[in-house]
A and B are shown apart, each in its own frame.
Chain A
């Protein structure tokens, strides 16, 4: 696995992102990422607009090939695949928790949660903290198989700590690296690594 692959993978996870965001997602130094992205853009693997990058169709094809080449061993690693299966179980729970965070059930009718009920919010946040703890050993197994996944753990911890400190936008805000944003990115990462597609 080389840095160019990591840079392209970073762009795939963080579409329309600048070098800094790609560097953070891929675990690369900013200067290194910047140079790689410029090189890939010159080679028509990426398209650049105002400092933000997207994969070209050719870039996407190259990247998909790299996934199966670089992660062949991991895809055959029973422990990693088993940990991934457990991740999928937790994923269903996470989606329900985030939905309950956003929506109230009022006697069968769903309405947007306007966060005026502190007890309700505290209970949902508590469920998220509980899920985070139960998920920790699974994430550790995944990281043992692919150490760069540790970046997701750091981001999840950060989002949870912010949310527990009362900054509740860190739970599901789509414009920041909220718990849901990072979780979803991690899911995308795993799907690419394992060559699978997401089921709605």
Chain B
């Protein structure tokens, strides 16, 4: 058991696993990493008991202030830094954490404990006063947005902290406490209050979670990846999340904080940079990744920071992955004996397989092809067609059967009718969050944005191949191939596993089948229960969607006729899971 600092707080020292209901998922995960012998910044947790007291009485338990002070004392002891200190200041993160994660709970506040005094101290310790000032600004921004729930004006980088505080008070009607202890108390109360936010209440109601559980609050020492030359921050995937290759993959940014990576202001280096600079840390990191992957039974995505040559793991979770990686992780981990076939099948979705089977440029097709324009790749996929710059004309020609690439300076809702029917969208201006990018991704249309002013008008009437992966517009129609689900060994293997477990058969051809495509309402999933009653072999119509497959399983259909087969098998399996 982690040791008690008082009736409502626990120090997480890794001496055992606390009750997950009491400390919440995040603190539990920290305790588990510590129990595995991994290096995690010290933390303590205010348990859900304090929250239920607050919910029942409208006030925090008597003595919680002293318990928080003891918690901070334990962090000071473990980190060698002082909260509000003038030499080595301790800053903390504050996050909510219920046993079950839910929306509407307070987001994480970072860098709590920074004041005029500690900013100056942090500037001296890191030798980087600008960083210290920026940390102060980021704290105020988060505190204003998350604790005070405001939309703040931009806190200009040249203004002073006093100006920032004034701006926040103007926008939210409340001030940010100057004292670190008061900041902490206010943040803890804000977490408790978030338990009863509109979204959290609705979520609990919808999922039958009792309102009385309450949430814990995790308070963790911040570590600094920008302390010195032997510091940095990064992300590690225990295997490659793009290809699925069994090799660690990640990025590292020396002398930086996590926010620097997220902000996109700096370009991180591959993990080899860490291996070259701090080989022992690199080795420890890979060993930790292997442990966490084995313990959690899935590929991990780990955020870490190195402070003065010492590694700290900040967070680990099941890795996000591209479709190719999802397939390879599943197949490889079965071969390695890490998971069973049923688990492997649950980790590849029908949509991922459809993505893998989408047409793509033939191998080597782009070699020697002329790149007419280049921009930011905004939506993957390949689109071949004739360039049209007028949206109405593009729509007319596309509806008449021509393959059209819509090229615009920018797009707006006026252009959506043309974007829906074209093969690709390209723009001269705008980036990854522009209208063209967002709408193309929603439509699944290949898209390249920001090719530069005046680059596209001259291409009117030319046939081009738009590669939404590389961001290139190639001259002419390059060869495009559609992958075959039977030719790819990993897909074929997964198909065999799925066939052995699916609640119905999926065949490519059948002599006789009930064709939903020829029936009134056959495209409407809601009509399927009635239309499919008593049918054994079906094809077409709404069966093309996962929801349609689910309805077919529910209706007792025995055989679906469709190609490719694997997505339908996976959707049918998914329909049998709770």
Contacts and interface: CB of A to CB of B under 8 A. Distances in A.
Interface of A: 13-16, 54, 86, 89-90, 95-96, 98-99, 102-112, 114-117, 119-120, 122, 125-127, 129-130, 133-135, 137-138, 164-165, 172-175, 178, 180-181, 184-185, 188, 198, 200
Contacts of A103: 432, 441
B433 to A, nearest CB: 4
Contacts of B351: 114-116
A130 B414 contact: no
Interface of B: 101, 103-105, 107, 145, 149-154, 197-199, 202-203, 206, 235, 237, 241-242, 249-251, 268, 317-318, 320-323, 326, 349, 351-352, 355, 377, 379-380, 392, 410, 412-414, 416-417, 419-420, 429-435, 437-439, 441-443
Q: Which one of B268, B326, B433 has the highest number of Cβ atoms from chain A below 10 Å of its Cβ?
A: B433
Contacts of B320: 104-106, 117, 120
User: Lowest 4 A-B CB distances belong to which pairs?
Assistant: A95-B433, A200-B430, A126-B103, A106-B241
A119 B317 contact: yes
Contacts of B154: 89
A164 B431 contact: no
Nearest to A120: B320
Given A164-B103, A164-B202, A98 B433 contact: yes
Contacts of B198: 133
Contacts of B150: 134
A23 B198 CA distance: 32
Given A120-B320, A122-B103, 10 more contacts: A13-B413, A16-B417, A103-B441, A104-B320, A111-B380, A125-B103, A175-B420, A185-B413, A200-B429, A200-B430
Contacts of A198: 410, 412
A89 B268 contact: no
Contact of B268 (A108, A117, A127, A178): A108
A108 B267 CA distance: 9
B352 A172 contact: no
A86 B416 CA distance: 27
Given A108-B268, A112-B379, A200-B434, A174 B149 contact: no
Given A89-B151, A114-B355, A15 B413 contact: yes
Nearest to A188: B413
* Most chain A CB inside 10 Å of its own CB: which residue of B154, B203, B439: B439
Nearest to A92: B433
Nearest to A100: B433
Nearest to B355: A114
